[in-house]
Amino acid sequence: MSHPVQAAFPADFLWGAATAAYQVEGAFDRDGKGVSVQDAKNHCNAFHDTSVTSDHYHRFREDVALMKELGLKSYRFSIAWTRIYPDGVTLNQPGIAFYHQLIDVLLENDITPLITLYHFDHPQALQERYSGWYSDRMIDDFLRFAETCFRSFGDRVRHFMTICESNNVVLYPDLIGGVPQGVEVETWRFQVSRVMALANARVIKLCRQLLPQASIGPCIGYAVAYPATCAPEDVLAALNEDEFRTFYPLDLLCLGRQNPAVVSFFARRGLDIRLPPDELAEIGSVKPDFIAFNYYQSDVAKHCPEESRQQQPDFNPDGQQGGFTYPAFPGLYAGDSNPYLPRNDWDWEIDPVGLRIACRRLYDRYQLPLMITENGLGARDTLADGEIADLYRIDYLQKHLVQMRLAMAEGVPVLGYYAWSFMDVMSTSNGYGKRYGFVYVDREDKDLKTLKRFKKASFYWYQNVIESQGSALFTTEQESFR
């Protein structure tokens, strides 16, 4: 008897892959594009050289042809805000023209676009003018940008994401320009969460007015928190992490409510994060069509006594296991490693079952359809004789997709799955030393080399999965993709 999860995926399931503008396009100063907060990091970060990245801006036709060959049903990409409004206020028509071309080529190849409106890259001019997302002024500027995207591309695009990982950008402030001098980091975090929630609500409302047939939703990054032990204090720490890191921002975006435990915790520390009733009512009046979430790993949380030293989270900078900085938030939780799970070289636990848990928790809490908009394995891929035998990536993706299918069999509506990433991109924290793509890009951090594209073993594997409408997940052997 066949297992029930081996049934084919829904006919309209969006088999996809994703990228982000600043990580893949390059051409950071071409055709009127302005400087984004990501471009501004070029001069102080060894990895964030956005001048060329994967040169998708000049090679998008070649790249879309590869997407077609791969069999993608959908491609998730972001619009670079600074191509449309270089300084945040001045319209740049050549930027709009580029995305017109990209969208047209995608549709000619029967690939459905999913547009991310914001993926960490607002204009540096707005950061300098009023500290970006820390200011209410950002809402109107973002709304202007979103309206231009809706009016320009909405006749052909039916799926939009508002803000990518609004919860993680407050956890890692340097991703979006940093904390202004003289402002406490927690004050900044909750102000940015508030501004993003209001912007999210107003953008969704505008989309409904201009594009009633479109679907739109927010995006979070979700790392399910497990307790380090079954000690009640550790169980509470895991609950605290989930509520502080994921459910506080997502409750705001989807329910128009502030998590009371988080509000109470910071009130006891002298920080009043309560929003005015009219703002909560405005946010709560707009329901998204779906929740998009990005999943790579799970977390472990342990008790963190009040007298502990605070430690802000940070990335593993060099891909040597043991270099990850775990957070410690006294009175909330402290992070730790998981002895029951393997890790990649950057200390991210590999946890396929965690994806199933994430799907069930999110759907149970919010009762909204889900889209998995990023999931993938970062690794040091080796190009040998024109081939890349990334069997470790196939193993990672296959196990995650099976667990996603189990969640769907358990009643969770998942609309689509977007592997991160379609091609090798400039990793946010580790440049080209950490690769994710189905397509290898021939370059290194300090050497552009040929920028030629090579299909990895995982390309052919995913091609087979899509062609079989998912049934190949239960029948294929890795060895056949060497």
How high is the pLDDT of residue 476? 52
pLDDT computed for residue 266 by the predictor? 92
Q: Report the alpha-carbon distance of residue 352 to residue 349 in Å, rounded.
A: 10
Contact call for residues 163 and 199 (beta carbons, < 8 A): yes
Query: What is the model's pLDDT at position 349?
Result: 93
DSSP secondary structure string for all residues of 44-72: T-SS--TTTTT-HHHHHHHHHHHHHHHT-
CB 211, CB 284: distance < 8 Å = no
Q: 390, 380, 382, 394: which is closest to 435 by C-alpha?
A: 380
Considering only CA atoms, which of 377, 401, 439, 405 is closest in space to residue 68?
A: 439
H/E stretch holding 227 reads strand 225-227
The C-alpha atoms of residue 269 and residue 187 are separated, in whole angstroms, by 12
Structural domain count of the chain: 1
Question: Degrees (nearest 5) of the Cα angle 131, 78, 292?
Answer: 95
Q: Consecutive sets of 10 residues in the chain, 482 residues long: mean pLDDT of each? A: 62 97 95 95 67 96 98 98 98 98 98 98 97 98 98 98 95 91 94 97 98 98 97 97 95 95 93 96 97 97 94 76 84 94 90 98 98 97 95 97 96 97 90 95 93 98 96 67 46
What is the predicted pLDDT for the residue at 320? 74
**Structure pTM?**
0.95
Give the Cα separation of 25 and 80 in Å (integer): 9
Q: For residue 184, what is the domain's CATH number? A: 3.20.20.80
Dmax (CA) for the chain in angstroms is 65
> 């989309």: which residue's tokens?
207
CB under 8 Å to 345, separation ≥6 — which residues?
316, 319, 320, 321, 379, 380
Sequence-distant (≥ 6) Cβ neighbours of residue 312 within 8 angstroms: 185, 325, 327
At 1 the pLDDT is 38
Cβ atoms of 349 and 301 within 8 Å: the answer is no
Residue numbers annotated as active site: 165, 374
Vertex 420, ends 118 and 449: CA angle to 5°? Answer: 95
Token pair for 286: 């707009």
Residues 126, 195: contact at Cβ < 8 Å? no
Written as one string, the DSSP assignment of 98-167 is: HHHHHHHHHHHTT-EEEEEEESS--BHHHHHHH-GGGSTHHHHHHHHHHHHHHHHHTTT--EEEEETTHH
CA distance 365 to 47: 38
Give the span between the Cα atoms of 482 and 239, in whole angstroms. 42
For residue 363, what are the domain limits?
Answer: 4-481
CA-angle at 22, arms to 21 and 27, nearest 5°: 90
pLDDT at 122: 97
pLDDT at residue 151, rounded to an integer: 98
**Rounded to 5 degrees, what angle do the CA atoms 291, 294, 296 make?**
150
